[in-house]
Chain A
């Protein structure tokens, strides 16, 4: 993991030193930071599922796309209540079909359909696998501030501000059996509940620099197994710079920080011990654009965390995606 981070940062430094073409000669609107900020928070602490909700809707600016994204998240969690209880390694894998489509001039819709395949290795070398559809999310955004189409040529900074709301549907299965013991209650395909999202995104661009701020809140409801995952607040800030190589190629390295807060889960209306908490991440990534194609990779590593009373630790997250701008 460290090697990866180092190589990514070296790569970015290298790019910076190259100082390719500072500005595009004839910029194409579509190649600029298409899904850039979408990598903001790929997910959330527990598997885009259990504690899931915010699925990485960023400020996709004016771009509309359809794509596939793979997310790998690694955790470890305590199998037991004691200081010497064994750790369990957990791998959450998600493949998402995701899209952003405009509806009229100021509305746009984000939709994500995930397929999950998670596994965990117990101390006795036994393994548990769960796989299936995750919770589908649809999120509508209203663009209060919108970039003008010729933004790239503009000398003045451009601002984007979007306000959104949406719903996460219980298309992923929630299985009580996975709540066994004191291990990660988020080892699930879905929350089993109808959850509602509120989101705000802000983006600013100046020349080939950009930054984004995003925050979202997920209200989670009780599922039919009387379990309710804790409400969740995510935020992220990131900055990026786009380098243009001729008319067709663009490359955008990006770094950022993000945080996630979880309220305690409830079962039968009673708070569940060792749930809730927070985590703070550093992240880095790079997106390559070729004409209407965007290819990206990004990673998140925890800087500090206190999840589930210390019984769950986020280790790393990696995301790889390919989008077609439409």
Chain B
């Protein structure tokens, strides 16, 4: 009996000690405003995208990708209660480029909160385009310098995807160019995508979450819609293929993880 008594004291003490560990989640009182960093990590079907490397898709076409630029825009963040924060439209357009390594979008002055989903557009919406050249701000010059503009009349390239390819019938490496955008105001290829973060992105004066997205470039031609380069290697203004590519592109994004913290480490 005595050993059992001692044992019970021992167990009791242990419970006392362990119950002292605090597991209340902090950050309940997020205040102020902060940044949200969104990393667009380009890939091909699970592999990191390395320009100049070759990838074979399900259609047995082997692509060597030399360029992957796209425009992302109109970011909205939604918290668990369904409140939506819309990023100011006049600052809301970003060009990401694998070549320049400029693949991070930084949203500033985002109200403190716990955000659970992210919505953004791929390309430039008609509302923005119809503001005319003077309503474009820096976007126009930036697009011109990054090969994301045909001409003002034809409009923005939302996606500039280039390289060479081979297939069963095209045995010599042949250039491909996929330039997708709205065709002036006659064909609207602007699409939006909404991604659940799978966790909470915590924003406050002290906290800058990094949302790590993966963009699967393999999806551009080999997504729900199948596009054969062997059939047509240069696709720019195509009323049939461009909308399919726009749909594939808008579906190429997934959230890998969210890193909460002060935003300095990744």
Contacts and interface: CB of A to CB of B under 8 A. Distances in A.
Q: Do A and B come from one complex?
A: yes
A83 B23 CA distance: 35
B178 interface: no
A109 interface: no
A82 B22 contact: no
Interface in A64-122: 80-85, 106
Interface string A128-168: 00000000000010101000000000000000000101010
Nearest to A82: B48
A290 interface: no
B257 to A, nearest CB: 4
Interface string B22-55: 1111110000000000000101001110100000
Contact of A219 (B18, B25, B212): B18
B11 to A, nearest CB: 8
Interface of B (DSSP majority class)? mixed
Interface string A217-260: 00101100010100000000000000000000000000000000
Contact of A226 (B10, B26, B200): B26
Contact of B261 (A80, A176, A182, A221): A176
Nearest to B6: A142
Contacts of A182: 257
A280 B18 CA distance: 27
B128 interface: no
Nearest to A226: B26
A81 B214 CA distance: 9
A83 B55 CA distance: 13
Interface in A18-60: none
Nearest to A219: B18
Contact of B21 (A180, A181, A219): A219
A186 to B, nearest CB: 16
B18 A268 contact: no
Contacts of A219: 18, 21
A85 B48 contact: yes
A140 B17 CA distance: 13
Contacts of A222: 21-23
A180 B259 CA distance: 10
B27 A268 contact: yes
Given A83-B46, A84-B47, A221 B265 contact: no
A228 to B, nearest CB: 8
Given A80-B48, A83-B47, A177-B265, A269 B21 contact: no
Given A165-B10, A167-B17, A176-B265, A82 B23 contact: no
Interface string B198-213: 1110100001000010
B230 interface: no
B256 interface: yes
Given A180-B265, A268-B26, A81 B200 contact: no
B10 A82 contact: no
A10 interface: no
B46 A273 contact: no
Interface string A253-280: 0000000000000011111111000000
Nearest to B18: A196
A274 to B, nearest CB: 7
A12 interface: no
B228 interface: no
A106 B5 CA distance: 13
A188 to B, nearest CB: 13
A194 B21 contact: yes
24 contacts: A81-B257, A82-B48, A84-B47, A84-B48, A85-B48, A106-B3, A140-B10, A142-B7, A142-B10, A165-B11, A165-B14, A176-B261, A181-B266, A198-B14, A219-B21, A221-B23, A226-B26, A226-B27, A267-B261, A268-B207, A270-B25, A270-B199, A270-B200, A270-B260
Interface of B: 3, 6-7, 10-11, 13-14, 17-18, 21-27, 41, 43, 46-48, 50, 198-200, 202, 207, 212, 214, 256-258, 260-261, 265-266
6 A-B pairs closest in CB distance: A269-B25, A221-B21, A273-B257, A165-B14, A82-B48, A84-B47
